[in-house]
Structure 1
Amino acid sequence: MSAKPIEAGTGGGTGTLPVSSRSRLAQLWSEMKRHKVSYLFLAPFLLLFFIFIIVPILTSITLSFSYYNILEAPRFIGFSNYKLLFVDDDIFMQAVGITLKFAFITGPVGYVMAFLLAWLISQIPIKYRFFYTLCFYTPSITSATAMSVVWLYMFAGDRKGMLNHWLIRIGLLDEPFLYLQDIRTIVPVIIIVSLWMSMGVGFLAFLAGLQNVPKDLYEAGEIDGIRNRWQQLFYITVPSVKPQLLFGAIMQVVSSLQVFDVSVQLVGLPSPLYAGHTILTHLFDYAFIRFEMGYASAIAVVLFLLMMGLNRLIFNLLGRD
């Protein structure tokens, strides 16, 4: 018995095709030929996206099911890497906890800080905005190595360290405190430095979005009863920059889960008692120090899935409109 024909095509095109995967491929090919100019413009991006994003992801997923040490050909071992990762690797589970703790603090705090600073800068005269934008944006484009020089001097564990010097001078400390060796202060120090360097692309997106909010919306708000800037922010500004808020949230989540350079530069690799060990630090250890690429690929897949899950949560919260 033959399949019942259905109407196919979009726009002005019509025709009859059987309901099957073959007919859908034919329909897709017809659409591509009809809009070939558009697909030609998309081709460079799609090609680069496939080569540098899709292929590495698929390769990493494949290698995560194998034992691969670079010198020998990959050998399939099933789920052994994942079993070792979640059952026997206590350092990895500690790294997951530290990374999530770091992300749930620096993510929301850095996100709110970036938006509020962008909003405050948008309130000042235009001729001063570039200066303030440069001041807040510069730490994010400065290498972690350069920034660590300043922060290592700030948190140095001797009397010459700036923080120790002033705390001893005012009488709060009797002797220097080892901020970068004490497991109680390692994560807070990394969080502070990361927040200082968090005014990145999301901050610029917020600033651009805030400057493009139509002025007549504020005038209409004043007529409707809005009396101060905080009411303007809540009822007009935030709803007008939802695309930028979504973009900034995604960038903040990605950056907070990828903390690596700051931790390594401040507390070393490995850190004291692995107190500053993150998922990406664990991945780097196995990939480029121990050269266990199969195991490192399993770590990368877990990190990728964690990012995808958090990004999906953000889309559900901010992307519904």
Structure 2
Amino acid sequence: MSSEIITPAQNEAVQMQPTKTPGKWAQLWLDIKKNKVSYYFLAPFLILFTVFTIVPIIMSVVLSFSYYNIIETPRFIGFSNYKLLFVDDDIFLKAVGITLKFAIITGPIGYIMAFLLAWLISQIPQKFRFFYTLCYYVPSITSAVAMSVVWLYLFAGDRKGLLNHWLIQLGIINEPYLFLQNVDSIVPVIIIVSLWMSMGVGFLAFLAGLQNVPTDLYEAGSIDGVKYRWQELWYITIPCVKPQLLFGAVMQVVGSLTVFDVSMRLVGFPSPLYAGHTIMAHLFDYAFIRFEMGYASAIAVLLFALMLGLNRLIFKVLGRD
């Protein structure tokens, strides 16, 4: 029986031969088996996320290509719902314009306000922070009924309305102005109220991130020539809280595009001449009043795509590091 002698050159050539790498799904399965204990802890969240988020999204996409009124079996109709949305539904196109106008104004302004107020609160002594945090955060968690009572009294269209009373007393107007019935003032009123309620979860995330910035960085910055608070904010604070900035931006986009409750409580549903009609209001109308679930699913899919696109843009801007 003969044995072959492998030379060093042949041994090196064998070692240099490329090994077959497993595919993406095979690699995932190997990682799961290797870290199975970690996946056991993740399993409850993954199951709930799949059942209550992934599955509804898939069902909405499927139903958007059908006619479904809850009573009858869904009937496939192709792209008819999407064609109706963009070609024949003038109210939807108006709702898109109102929603985008609302998001463009309240999104950046609310985002900057939340961060600046969180930064200012982080500069005051620790014992006073809870009071100021509570004052700014309470409007975002107050019930819609309480919110509507306060703002309906402020913008009431008669002489008993607080704003009308002040304007008449100052001689600016001679008769009450219908803030909640005039189509020119409905969107500005909704924007004002939404900004008042914009200090939500993103505001708390900013505050938590600002309080965890290491003080050593500020000391090092002062040695390197940082003299003013605004310089500290730009060169030290903002780079340290980028994860919180990313989270706050995503939450602000979602909140701006899904505004509905404020509009319904203030100007009614539907609003006068659909002046305060948003995409979420249109979705609510077809889903829970007309029960046209196929058409409502198409609206939901488009809203989801709009959110997804804006969030991807935010990730490219704030998530690069």
Distance 1:215 1:25, change over 3 A: closer
**Corresponding position: 1:6 with 2:30:** no
Task: Find the counterpart in structure 1 of residue 183 from structure 2.
Answer: 183
- 1:71-110 deviation line (CA, Å, top 9, x unaligned): 1110000000000000000000000000000000000000
SS at match of 1:38: helix
- Matched residue, 1:74: 74
Give the counterpart letter for 1:292 in structure 2: E
Partner of residue 197, structure 1: 197
The amino acid that maps onto 1:51 is: V
Residue 35 of structure 1: CA displacement?
1.6
Question: Structure 1 residues 127 and 284 mapped into 2: Cα distance closer, same or farther (>3 Å)?
Answer: same
CA–CA separation in structure 2 for the residues paired with 1:278 and 1:145 = 20
Matched residue, 2:55 = 55
- The alpha carbon displacement at 1:5 in A equals 7.3
How many correspondences in the alignment? 305
Report the Cα distance in structure 1 between the residues aligned to 2:316 and 2:26, rounded to whole angstroms.
34
Structure 2 partner of 1:36: 36
Matched residue, 1:14: none
Alignment of 1:206 with 2:206, yes or no, is yes
Q: Which amino acid aligns with 1:86?
A: F
**Mapped partners of 1:25, 1:291: distance in 2:** 40
Q: Supply the AA of the counterpart residue of 2:217.
A: L
- Tell which deviates more after alignment, 182-191 or 234-243: 234-243
| Number of the residue aligned with 1:293 | 293
Instruction: State the Cα distance separating 1:27 from its structure 2 match.
Output: 4.2
Correspondences of 1:178-257 after superposition (within 5 Å)? 178-257=178-257
Partner of 1:11: none
Unaligned stretches of 5+ in structure 2? 1-16
Residue-by-residue CA offset, 1:35-78 (whole Å, 9 max, x unaligned): 21111111111111100000000000000000000111100000
SS of alignment partner, residue 160 of structure 2:
coil
Q: C-alpha deviations, 1:214-255, integer Å up to 9, x for none?
A: 001111111111111111111111111111000000000000
Task: Quote the residue 2:127 is aligned against.
Answer: 127
Match of 1:113 in 2: 113
The Cα offsets for residues 95-141 of structure 1, whole Å up to 9 and x where unpaired, read as 00000000000000000000000000001010000000000000101
1:101 and 1:75 map into 2 onto residues whose CA distance is 35
1:269-288 equivalences under 5 Å are: 269-288=269-288
- Cα distance in 1, alignment partners of residues 67 and 268 from structure 2: 28
> What SS does the corresponding residue of 1:6 show, helix, strand or coil?
coil
Superimposed CA distance per residue, residues 281-303 of structure 1 (whole angstroms, 9 cap, x where no aligned partner) = 00000000111000000000000
Q: Percent identity?
A: 77
Structure 2 distance, partners of 1:233, 1:35, is 40
Structure 1: which 5+ residue stretches go unaligned?
Answer: 9-16, 18-22
